[in-house]
Structures are given as structure tokens and as C-alpha cells.
Amino acid sequence: MKLRGLMGLAIFLILGLGHAFSQAPPQRVISLSPNFTEIIYDIGAQDQLVGVTNYCKFPPEAQQKAKVGGWLNPNIEKIVSLKPDLILVPQFTSDGGAKFKKLHLPVWVLNWATVEDVLKLYDAIGEKLGHVADARRAKARLQARLDRLKGSQPHETPLSVLFIVDHTPGTLQQLYGVGSHNFVDELIQWTGGKNVLEDSPVEYPMVSKEQIVSRDPDVIITVLPPQTKPGEEKADLDSWKQLPSLKAVREGHIYSFQGDDLMVPGPTILHLAELLSDAFAQARKTPEP
């Protein structure tokens, strides 16, 4: 009995020491992508965030954090000076954080594509930063609001949609659309649309005017910079009159979205989903003369 008791005590001490020496959550985190920053704030871990990119604008408080450049051209000296104990790096960067690893800085590379991937980031970042319960609640909150939009038009025939994520403003030049296997494509489907470029093997392919005419979408959506002035927005919408045969042009169903948050795969995807839902509801009304 004494031996058994001693063994039990030893196991208890070993487990206790293991727990005591387990790695503490990082307290000096640098985010190299706006979606990481958004999620960190959404789970309430912003006090652990010491640096963000120049593109991290949401929530507005994030702009008060130290700026470390962009994900493709980070300011290495600034990052080193902040003494990070974790750097969150998006996988699509040119070297996957290799420059930081050479400096023996702690790097964590993350990737995403779909809405499900975005939701999984909540779990991963929440666990890493010691906010598991907060992340679970924030994720559930976002999931519930997305699900409501997803089921809002169950009996409607999907509208065919061309979504232009980038182009030369005021022209039909350098048009980049939304292809398959990404969160924008999913949100189009969830809110009552059918992506006319869903068969593209490229996530965001360049498209020609000839391709657009052949697909003849019911709705065209373009994303414009947030600083676009009303006159510039009108000129951009009017540029589509170069393709008068398009149904979307004839019926006046061309919409422009503006906002730095629209293409960020974080909690602000809800804003994009709401805009899509509103645009599709408008397009289902009596066509404009």
C-alpha cells in the first residue's frame, strides 16, 4: 500500500510539473494579415497584439497598434524591435516567414480559402493565444449570423453572378473575377447567387470581355477602393455600357461595393455577405427601364 501510494504521489507530481512548465500563451504577437488582426480582436486577445500591418484597419482600434509594413514587405527592424514571441504569417507570402526563422523569431504560418477555413482560424488562434472559450463563442456568433443569411432565400432560383475583385477603375481593363474554392464564391452561393466563374481552376482569374459576354450574368458586382468619389463610382458603373448586350447592363443590375474590409477573410465576411444578399434582393425586383 505504501509503494502504491508513493507511485501515485510521483505520478501526481510529474503531471503537475508538466502542467506547470507547459508553454504559456504568447504575450507579444505580431499579425501580418488583416484577418488575423480582426480575429484576435473578435476573441478579445488584442492586449497580446503589439504589431500589425499597414493594411490592418478593422476594428478601428487596430490602427493604434505599431505598424510593421505589409505582408510582402515587412519592416524587419521594426518587427525585431517589438520583441515578438509569436509572428502570425499568411502562407501566401513569398517565403512563408523564412526571413524571420533565420533571425530565430517564432513564426506560425496559417492558411485559409473557404468560409470553413476562416472559422477554423478562430479555433486555432484562440487555442494558441489562450482564449479557447472566447474564440468558441465568437466563432459561434459569426456562424449563426452567416447561417441566417445562408437560409434567407431557399426557394429562389439562383442569379448568375460575375464578381470582379479588382480592375482598372473606370475601365473594363485588367478585370479579375472570383473563381472557385474561396470564401467569396461560397458567400455568393449562400446568399442566392451562382458564380459564373465557378468552373475556373484559379481562385481569382483574369477575365476578358469576351468571356463575360459568353457567360451573360444576371448581376455584376465590382469592388472599388473606399476612397472612390461618387463621380468616379458613376464613371466606373457607366464603363459597363461598352457591353450593352449583357443582361445585367440592360436591366441595370450592376452594383459597386466599397470598403477595406470586404475582401478580408475574417469576421467582416459578414459585411460582404449582407451586401450580396441586399444586391440580389434588389436584382430580383422589377428590372429598371
CATH number for the domain spanning 118: value is 3.40.50.1980
Domain total in the chain: 2
Q: What is the DSSP string of 70-88?
A: -SSSB-HHHHHHT--SEEE
- Whether residue 57 is contained in a domain is answered as yes
pLDDT of residue 94: 60
Q: State yes or no: pLDDT of 38 exceeds 80.
A: yes
Q: What is the mean pLDDT of the chain?
A: 89
**Domain limit, last residue, from 125, 148, 171:** 148
Q: What is the DSSP string of 144-165?
A: HHHHHHHTS-TTSPPEEEEEEE
Mean pLDDT, range 39-51, rounded to an integer: 98
Do 221 and 270 fall within a single domain?
yes
Do 251 and 141 fall within a single domain?
no
Q: What is the DSSP string of 2-52?
A: HHHHHHHHHHHHHHHHHHHTSPPPPSSEEESSHHHHHHHHHTT-GGGEEEE
More confident of the two residues 153 and 90: 90
Do 177 and 161 fall within a single domain?
yes
Q: State yes or no: pLDDT of 76 exceeds 60.
A: yes
Query: Is the omega angle on the peptide bond into residue 25 within 30 degrees of 0, that is, cis?
Result: no
The rounded distance, in Å, linking the Cα atoms of 119 and 191 is 18
Residue type, 186: E
Do 92 and 201 fall within a single domain?
no
- Whether residue 6 is contained in a domain is answered as no
pLDDT of residue 10: 40
Least confident residue range of 120-129, 146-155, 193-202, 272-281 = 146-155
DSSP secondary structure letter of residue 69: B
Do 159 and 278 fall within a single domain?
yes
Left, alpha or beta for 274 (phi > 0: left; psi -120 to 50: alpha)?
alpha
**Domain limit, last residue, from 122, 148, 174:** 148
DSSP 3-state assignment of 185?
A: helix
Left, alpha or beta for 51 (phi > 0: left; psi -120 to 50: alpha)?
beta
pLDDT of residue 281: 92
Per-residue burial over 225-238, b if 16 or more Cβ lie within 10 Å, else e, is eeeeeeeebeebbe
- Whether residue 117 is contained in a domain is answered as yes
Do 104 and 174 fall within a single domain?
no
The rounded distance, in Å, linking the Cα atoms of 209 and 162 is 12
Mean pLDDT, range 68-86, rounded to an integer: 93
- Whether residue 83 is contained in a domain is answered as yes
* Structural domain that includes position 75: 29-148
Q: What is the pTM of this model?
A: 0.86
Do 162 and 256 fall within a single domain?
yes
- Whether residue 251 is contained in a domain is answered as yes
- Whether residue 289 is contained in a domain is answered as no
Do 173 and 133 fall within a single domain?
no
More confident of the two residues 93 and 7: 93
pLDDT of residue 72: 81
- Whether residue 19 is contained in a domain is answered as no
Closest CA to 253 of 230, 231, 229, 280: 280
The rounded distance, in Å, linking the Cα atoms of 259 and 228 is 10
Question: Between β-strands 176-177 and 29-31, what pairing exists: parallel, antiparallel or unpaired?
Answer: unpaired
Least confident residue range of 81-95, 160-174, 193-207 = 81-95
- Whether residue 62 is contained in a domain is answered as yes
pLDDT of residue 153: 67
Do 201 and 257 fall within a single domain?
yes
The rounded distance, in Å, linking the Cα atoms of 151 and 168 is 35
Q: Interior CA angle at 28 toward 22 and 30, to 5°?
A: 120
Least confident residue range of 16-30, 121-135, 209-223, 245-259 = 16-30
pLDDT of residue 92: 80
Residue 268 CB partners (closer than 8 Å, separation 6+): 38, 58, 261, 262
**Domain limit, last residue, from 148, 182, 202:** 148
